Chains A and B, each alone.
Chain A
Amino acid sequence: MELNWTTFLLEIINFLVLVWLLKRFFYKPLQAAIARRQAAIDQRIEKARKMEEDAQQLQQQYEKDLAALERERELAREQLQREISDERKKQEQELAASLQKKREQAAVVEQRQARELQRQQQQTALEQGSRFASRLLQEGAGPELQTRLQALLLDSLREIPAEQLARWQDRLGADGDTVEVVSAFPLEADSRGQITQALQRALQRDVHCHFAEDSGLIAGLRINMGPWVLGTNVRDELDGFARLERETVRDG
């Protein structure tokens, strides 16, 4: 452990040379390389930062465009909804009108069907009534009924208006004085005489009566004077009743 001055001095020189060599050949080139790389990194960072700014601007622009599109879409959607609502209201109104019209038509048809049904029922009732009355009268018809009907006929001859009688007289004058008297049952002689006298009295002239029989009349008489027919018999009454039924049903 002794100090060697030669070693001491040479060590100093050696170390100073080493420091110079390191500074010249080690630190400076490495620091320059690091600085170059750092500059390149800074440049890339700056470039990246600029790209990021551009990207952010693009993103902001994109978001702005997106917001505008969204607003436009909302407006279009609102307009479409309004149009749909209007169209729906319009179609609902048209549908309501159509339904009302169809309801009215249905009501009319229903009323018509009801009337038709009522008419059919009335007709059926009347026909049944007519058949019932016709059958009842056919069952109950006889000379007595004919006598009563003859009396009614003779009474009605007295009540015929004068104008009607005048027209009969004119007509009979043209066609002759023969009057056809049809009865359901054979008439007695006095009945025939009463009828003839009643006709002569009503027409104020001589009348030649031709008596005939027709069981289709059921009971009563029918007097044919040219185009005029004067009847008081069950058949004509039933036919008149049937006509009245048809007219009533048709008018009803």
Chain B
Amino acid sequence: MAENGGELSPEVLFQLGPLQITSTVLTTIGIVVGIALAAGLLTRHLRDQPGPVQTAAETAVLAMEDAIRAVAPDHVRLLLPFVGGLWIFLVVANLIGLIPGLHSPTRDLSATSALAILVFLSVHWFGIRSQGLRSYLRHYVTPNPILLPFHLLSEVTRTVALAVRLFGNMMSLEMAALLVLLVAGFLAPIPILMLHIVEALVQAYIFGMLALIYVAGGLQLQELKQTKTQGESHE
């Protein structure tokens, strides 16, 4: 049974048993399929002398690697799939709202919360994977166990901020566009479209970069502790 949540709310298209399939989910699935098909087609016939499309793809990958290398030089290959996936998905997801009849999945708090939770989990996943559970959890009680609540609060708030920032910006963007269209009709579509494009790219970059910084912070925190421990043992 479909449920219409209004212009600014995701629309429930149908229900599969207990699962409510919203327009956000369908759009996201479409985006995933489209990206996968595009990636498959693009990498199907890679050549040593690349054409324009291959050159653009390689340039994008190298740019993402450089950005990751600037923050976490030793974990480029480890972090590229996750952080690069965030960037690619968010760019497409933010820009897909420009297509008439479609809405950006990122204007749905459920989608941005899911991405924020993934970032939250990936920070711990990469940290535990690199140093082990006990060593990773120890940093919450160092240098003093009294800092544990602050650490936990920080984890929650930054994850919430990550989700709400993206949701709020994309929601407000669509709302502003809707209001401008209501007030000015179709007299000012081009500036609004330009604003939408810039905002979509900026928000994708910010979300991906923050995720990268959080994950790299967890990794380097472990490395810093390890380095300090080794230094003390040498002394």
Tell me whether A8 and B39 are in contact (CB under 8 A).
Answer: no
B42 / chain A contacts, CB cutoff of 8 Å: 26
Nearest Cβ distance between residue B103 and chain A, in whole angstroms? 13
Pairwise interchain contact A2-B109, C-beta atoms closer than 8 A: yes
Chain B residues within an 8 Å CB radius of A31: 61
How many of chain B's residues have a CB under 8 angstroms from any CB in A? Answer: 48
Closest to B12 in A: A4
Within 8 Å CB of B47, what residues of A? 33
Which of B18, B20, B35 is close to A21, meaning CB atoms less than 8 Å apart?
B35
A3/B35 contact (C-beta < 8 A), A12-B114, A22-B85 known? no
A12's partner among B43, B88, B118 (CB-CB below 8 A) is B118
Residue tally, chain A, CB below 8 Å to B: 34
The main secondary structure of chain B at its interface with chain A is: helix
In this complex, what residue of B is CB-closest to A32? B46
Task: Give A82 to B48 CA distance when docked, in angstroms.
Answer: 67
Residues B35 and A18 in contact, CB atoms below 8 Å apart: yes
Q: CB of A15 within 8 A of chain B?
A: yes
Does B28 count as interface, using CB distance less than 8 angstroms?
Answer: yes
In the assembled complex, A19 has its CB within 8 A of some CB on chain B: yes
Q: State whether B118 touches A7 (Cβ < 8 A).
A: no
CA of A72 to CA of B198 in the docked complex: distance in angstroms? 74
- Which of A34-42, A101-109, A122-130, A146-154 is found at the contact surface with chain B? A34-42
Q: Which of B9, B19, B32, B89 contacts A6 (CB 8 A)?
A: B19
State the CA gap A23–B39 with chains docked (Å): 10
Residues of A within 8 A of B113 (CB): 3, 8
Cα separation A6 to B171 with both chains bound (whole Å) = 20
CA distance A130 to B46 in the complex (A): 137
For residues 20 through 36 of chain B, which have their beta carbon under 8 Å from a beta carbon of chain A? 20-22, 24-25, 28-29, 31-32, 35-36
Closest 7 CB pairs between A and B? A11-B114, A7-B110, A29-B43, A26-B39, A23-B81, A19-B85, A21-B36
Name B's A-contacting residues (CB within 8 A): 9-10, 12, 18-22, 24-25, 28-29, 31-32, 35-36, 39-40, 42-43, 46-48, 50, 54, 57-58, 61-62, 80-82, 84-85, 88-89, 105, 108-111, 113-115, 117-118, 167, 171
